[in-house]
Structure 1
Amino acid sequence: MESWMRWLLLCCHFLLFHFSPSHSLCHLHDGFALLQFKNSFTIYTDNPNVVCGGGYAKTTTWKNVTDCCSWPGVTCHPISSHVIGLNLSCSNLQGKIYPNSTLFRISHLQSLNLAFNNFSGSHLSSLFGGFSSLTYLNLANTNFEGEIPPQISYLSKLASLDLSYNYNLKWKEDTLKRLLQNATVLRELILDETNMSSVSTSSLNLSSSLVTLSLQNVGLRGNLTNDILCLPNLQHLHLTQLQVQLPTVSCSSDSLNILSLSSCDFQGTLPPSFSNFTHLTSVEFHDNYFNYSFPSSLLTLPSLAFLSIKYNNLSGEIPNVFPRSNKFEELHLSENNLGGELPSTLSNLQHLIVLDLSYNEFSGQIPPSLFDLTQLHHLDCAYNKLQGPLPNNIVGFQKLTWFSLGHNLLNGTIPSWCLSLPSLVNLYLPENRFTGHISAISSYSIENLILNDNKIQANIPESIFSLVNLTRLDLSANNLSGFFHFHLFSELQNLKYLDLSQNDQLSLNFESSVNYSLYNLKTLALSSMGLTEFPKLLGKVPNLESLDLSNNKLTGRVPNWLFETSSLGLLDLSQNLFTSSFDHISWGQSLSHLDLSFNALTGGIPSSICNVSFMYVLKLSHNKLTGNIPQCLVNSSGLNILDLQMNKLYGTLPNAFSAYCRFRTINLNGNQLEGLLPKSLSICTNLLVLDLGNNEIEDKFPHWLQSLPHLKVLVLRANKLHGPITDFKAENGFPSLIIFDISSNNFSGPIPKVDIFFKSMKNVFQLGYATYLVMYVSNFEGSMSYVDYVIVTTKGNNMTLTKIRDDFVSIDLSKNRFEGEIPNVIGALHALIGLNLSHNRLRGPIPKSMGNLTNLESLDLSSNMLDGEIPTELTNLNFLEVLNLSYNHLVGEIPQGKQFNTFSNDSYKGNSGLCGILLTKKCVKDPEQHLHLHRPSREIRNLDLIGNQWL
C-alpha cells in the first residue's frame, strides 16, 4: 500500500510539473548562468578542429526566450529542472574561463564536457572541485595551463576524467595521489600530454574499478608496478612515450584487450608473459629497444587482431606458428633486424588487412601462398633481401590498394597481375632486378607507379596513358629505349611527378609546334638521358616547381625563361656543358634551390642573384667563375647552402654575416680567397659544414668557432694559417665535430689536449634500432635534398666523401709545425676512424693510450721525431688497415699479431733502430748487442734533426 501511494504522488508531481501553463523545465538560475557563460566567449571559425570534423557552435541557438533544457548540449534533471549535464565539446568557443565565471554557479552538474575548445591562457580553477556531484569531466584539448589545483581531488564521484592534450597543464604529486585515493569509482582516466614530470610511479595507487587508463607522453619516470597490468577490470591501457621500467608480469587477465606500451625505451627481451592476457585484441610495442628473438606466444593469442612491434631491435626469424584459427587484421613488424625466410603460415591469416614487414633482413623467396590472401589491402615488404621471381598467377589481392616490394633482390619480369589488380592505388617495386618489358596496365585506379632502378627494357607501354588517376610515375634508372613523344604525357592530366632519368637509350621528342599542357605537373626529372638540346617546355608546364636536367650534354646559355617561370623553385642543371656567364639572366623570385655545378660557366657572380627572396640552396661549384663573392650572399637571412668550391674566385671573404644567419653549409674550397677569417661566422649557429680549404687565407686559428653547437665538419687545410692553437674553452668546445682538417698550414706549438673538446669524437656512433640506415650530414629544403661532401686524406690517399657519414670521425693535423709530445688523452677519442699527425716536429713516445682507439682504420705518424718502442697496445686496433710510422726515431722490436702481421716494410722505413720479422734487420737476443745496434750515434741523431728542418 505504501509503495502504491508513493507511485501516485510521483505521478501527480509529474503532471503538475509538465502541464502547468506557467512552468518552464529550465531552472531560472541555471538558464541565466548559461547565457552569461555563453556571452563570455567568442565563436571562432578559422582553423576548425580536425578531430571534431569542424564542429559547430552549439551556443548560437541559445536564446533567453526559450527553455534552456531544450538547448543543444544541455541536459536537465527531469524533476528538479536543474542543469545536470553540459556538453559543449567542439563548439568553437574561444576565450578564458575565470574564477568568477557563471559556469561555477551551475552547482548540480553531473556531467561536464568542454573538450576541443580554445581556452588558451586559462588556469584550471579550484572551483572545479566544487562540482561535488560530477561523475564525468572532459576538458581535453582546451589549452588550460598552470598547476592542477588540489581541489580537483574533491571530485570523489568521478567515473571518467579526461584532461588530455593540455600540454601546459602540470600535476603535483600530492594532487594526483589524493585524487586517486578519493575517486574510488573511477573507471576512465585519460591524462595524455599533460605534465606529470613531478610525479613518481609510486603515486599511481589506482582504483580496482579502472577500465581505461591512458598516460601518453606525460613525462612520467620510474618503475611501473605489476599492479597496473593486473587491475581486475582494466580493458584499455595506454602507457606510451614514458621513461619507465617494464614490470615483470606474473598475473593473467580476462579483461585486458587493448595494450599500448610504445616509445618507452623498453630494453631487453619482449616478455612472453604477455601471452597470459588471453583476451588481448590490440598490442602496440613499437618504438622501443626490444631485442633478441620474437616471442611465438604473442602470435597465437586467440583474439589478437592488431599487433605492432615496429621500430625495435628484434632479431632472428618470425616463428612459423600462426594458427589456422585467428583474428589477425593488422601486423606491423617493420624496422627491426628480423631475418630468415618469411613463415609459410602467414597464409593462415585470412582476415589480414595490413601486413608491414619492411626494413628488415628477410631473405629467400616470398611464400606463394601469401599472394592468396583475399582481404589484404596493404602489403609492404620493402627494404629486405627477398629474391627470386614473383609468381605468374595468384588468387588473392583483389582488394589490395598498397603493394610495396621495393629495395629487394627480386628478379624476372613483373607479372601482368601486378599491373591489373582492380583496387590498386600504389605500386612500389623500385631497386630490384626486374627485367623484360612492362606489360599492358589495366589497374585504372593506380595513382603511384614506382618502378625505378631495375633493368626493365623496351618502350614505355602505351597503356600508361590510360591511367587517368596517375599522379606519380617513376621509371628512372632502367634500360628503356625507343623514340617517344613527350606530349603524350599530357593525356595524364593528374600527373604531378614524372621521372625518366638515367634511361640514356630513350629518345624524347619535345615538339614545340604541338599544342599541349601538363597543367598539374610539379616535378620533372630528365637527368642522365643524353639530352643535347634544351627541352622545349616554355608554356607547356605552367606550374612546374622542380626541374632536374643534370648530367646531360646541354651546351650554350642557360635559357632565361627558366628563371622567369613564376612557379619554379628547384632547378638542377649540374654536370652539363653550359659555358656562358650570368649576365643575361633575370632572376625570378620563386627559386629556392639552384644547382649549376660542374659546368664551364664564366664571369662573376652577379649581386642581382641576391634579389631572389627565398633562395635556400645555391651550388655553383666546379665552374670557371672569377671575381669576388658578393657581400649580399652572406647577408642573406634565408640561404642555407652556399657551395662555390673549385672556381677561381678571389679577394677577401665577405665579413658581415647576417644576425639572422641560417647557413648550414659553406663550402669555398679550392679558390684563391685571401685575408682574415670573418669572426661574424660565429653568428651562424646552425652551421654543420665549413670548408675553406685550399685557399690563401692568412690568419690565426679561429677559436671563436668552437661554440658552434652543430658544426660537424671543419676543413681549413692548405691555407696560410699560423700560430699555436690556444684559447679553447675548459669544456665542450666543438661539441659536434666529427671531421677536423687543418693540415698543410703553419700551425705551431703543442697539439692541444683533446679531452677538453671534441665531445662527439669520444662516443662511438650508435644507430639504435635502425641499423640498416646510414646516417648522413644532409640538408633538406623543399622536395630536393642537398648532401654535403668533403675531401679527406685517409689511408694515405685523398678521398672524396660524397656522403659524410656520422660515424666517419677523422682528425688531420699533418704538414704543420706542431711540436712536443702527442698528448696521452688522445686515447679518449674512441670514435676516431682516421688520425694523421704526419710531417710535424713531434717528439717523445707513441702514447700507449692509442691502443684504446679500437675503431681506428688509418694511423699516420710518419715524418716526425718520435722515439721509443712501438707500444704493443696498438695490436688491439683490429680495424687498422693503414699504418705509417716511417721516418721517426723508433727503436726495438715491431709488435706481432693481428693487424700488425699485415703491414709491409714501408710502414716502418726510416727508423734505423727498429727490427723485426718484416724487416731485413732481425732482432737479436743479446741485450748488449741489441743496445749497441739500436742506439743511434750522436752524429746520426744530429743528422736526423737537420733532415727534419724542412718541416
Structure 2
Amino acid sequence: MESWKAWLLVCWQFLLFQFSSSHSLCHPHDNFALLQFKASFTVDIDSKITTWENGTDCCSWQGVTCDLISGHVTGLNLMQSGLENQIHPNSTLFQLSHLQSLNLALNDFSDSPMSPLFGGFENLAHLNLSDSSFIGEIPSQISHLSKLESLDLSYNGRLKSSLNLSSSLVTLSLVESELKGILTNDDIICLPNLQHLYMSYNYNLLGQLPSFGCSTSLTILDLSENNFNGSIPPSFFNLTNLTFLDLSSNYLKGSIPNVFHQSNRFEELDLSDNHIGGFSNMIDLRFDHNLLNGTIPSWCLSLRDVSFMDLSNNKLNGRIPNWLHEMGSFLSFLRVLDLQMNKLFGSVPSNFSRSNQLRTLSLNGNQLEGPLPKSLSNCNSLVILNLGNNQIEDTFPHWLQTLLNLRALVLRANKFHDYMTITTKSMSLTFRKIPTEFVNIDLSQNKFEGEIPKVIGELDALIGLNFSHNRLNGLIPQSMGNLTKLESLDLSSNLLTGTIPIELTNLNFLELLNLSHNHLVGEIPQGKQFNTFMNDSYEGNLGLCGLPLSKKCGMDNEQHSPPSLTVLREHKFGFGWKPVAIGYGCGMVFGVVMGCCVLLLGKPRWLVRMIGSLLN
C-alpha cells in the first residue's frame, strides 16, 4: 500500500514537471498585473524586475513566488530593488489578491501615502514596508488582516498611527517611525499573540512606561532611544516569557523592582543611559544560567547600589571591566560578584579598592591568566574566593594572610607553583596567620612541590581539603588528625611516602578520602570512617596492604614495597646498588689477577722494586 502511494506521488510530480515545462505556470491575471506594476516605476539596471519580460513565466521571475496548483502569485520580495515612484491607489499591485508575503523594503516610493488597499490582502501573513518613504496615517484596514503575523513599518519618517493593529500579529517593528504621544496598554503591548515588539528611536514617544494590566506572550521588547520617563513599573517584570528587554537611552529613574528571582531566561537586558539609581533597597541581580553573550553588559555600570550580581553560567567573553577602580561607588554596596563558567579572558583586575565590601568573588571556569593582583588583599570582608579552572600562573599568594574573614579558597586547576620544602617556614607562617575558621581549601591540579606543612592541623574548622594532582612529597602530617570537622580529604596523585597516620581515624565526619596514586606503604588503618572507604581510595600505592585491599599484610610485604627515598635517589641517577656491587667485585678480581701477572713477569721493574722494598 505504501509503495503504491509513493509511486502515485512520483507520477504526479512527473506530470507537474511535464506541464510546467510546456505551459506557463503563472496565472495570466497575475502576470499582467506584475508587468503593469513594473511599468509604473523607474528602475535601476540591476533591479530584480528587469528580468520581468512579457511572454515568459512570471513564476520564474526574480522575487516572485507562485502557488504550484493555481499559479497565483503568493509571494513578492522586491526588497532593495531600486524602485522609484509613488504607489498610487490604482496600482495593479493591489490586484494580487492571493499574496501571502509582500516585501517592498529599502525602496523609494517618494512619500507615498500608505494606501488603505494594503488592508485588502486577505491572505497576507508578512508585510514589510520598512525604509521605503511611506508617509501619513497607518490605515486602520491593516487591523482587518486576520492572518497577518509580521508587520515592519520601520524607518518611514512621517507615519501617523492610531495603532489599531491586527490581533494576529506576532512580530511588529516600528523603529524610527516618528510615532508620537503616550503609549498605553490598549495600543500595542496587549495584542494577544505579540511576541516581538521593536519601537526604538521614536523620540516623540513620551510619558511613563505602560503598566501591564494584561497577559502577553512578549519575548522581545525594545523601547530604547525614546523619551519615556518615570520609574519602571513592577508589572514590566511580570512578563515571564521575556528574553530580551532594552529600555536604554530614556529618562527613566527611581529603582528597579526587586523581581529578579523570577524565571526569566534573559539573553539581554539593557538599562543603560538612564537615571536609574538611589535605590531605597539594595537589590539582587541574578542572571545565572542564561544565554548572555558578548562582553559583560554595559547596563551593569548603571546599577550602583546592587549588592548581589550573578552572571554565571552564560557565554560572556572579553575582559573583566575595570569597574573596580573606575567606579569606586559601584563596589560600595556589592557583596557578591559571580562570573564563573563564562569565557572571560585576560587577567584578574588589579585595582580592588580598599572601600569595597566584597564577600564572595567567584571567577571559576574562565580563561583568566597572569599573576594574582595583590590588591585582592584590600577585600577585607572576603569570605569566599574561587579562582579555580583558569590559567592563572603564580606562586602561592601568601599575602592572603591579611584576609581574616576568608573561609574558602579555591585555586584548583591553574598554574600555581611553589617549592614547599624551601618555603615551609613561610608557609607555616602563612597558615598560622590565615584564620583557623577556614572551611575549604582547594589547591588541586597545580604545580605545588615540597612537604605538607604540619601546621595544617591547626585549621580545625576545615570541612574540605584538596591538594590532589600536585608534586607534594614527604609524609602525611599526623596533625591532620586534628581536623575533626573534615568531610572531604583528597591528597591523590602526588609523591607522598610513608604510612597513613593512625590519627586520621579520628576524623569522624570524613565521607570522602582519596590517597590514590602516591608512594604510601604499610597497613591501612581500620575503624570508624576508614571502614567505609573502598579500594579506589588507595589504588596506585603498591606498598599498602590490609582491608579493603585484597593484599594481606605479612613478611613478604617488603619485597613488594614501593621504592624508598634511597631507591628513588638511585633511580634519579639511572642505576641502583646491585650494578655497583657487581662492578666492584669484578674490578677487585681483575685487579688481583693483573697484580700477580706483573710480579711474575717482573714488569714494570719500578713497580716490582717498589713492592719488594715494601715487603722487606
TM-score, structure 1 as length reference: 0.33
The TM-score with structure 2 as length reference comes to 0.48
Q: Which has the larger radius of gyration?
A: 2
The structure with the greater share of residues assigned to helix is: 2
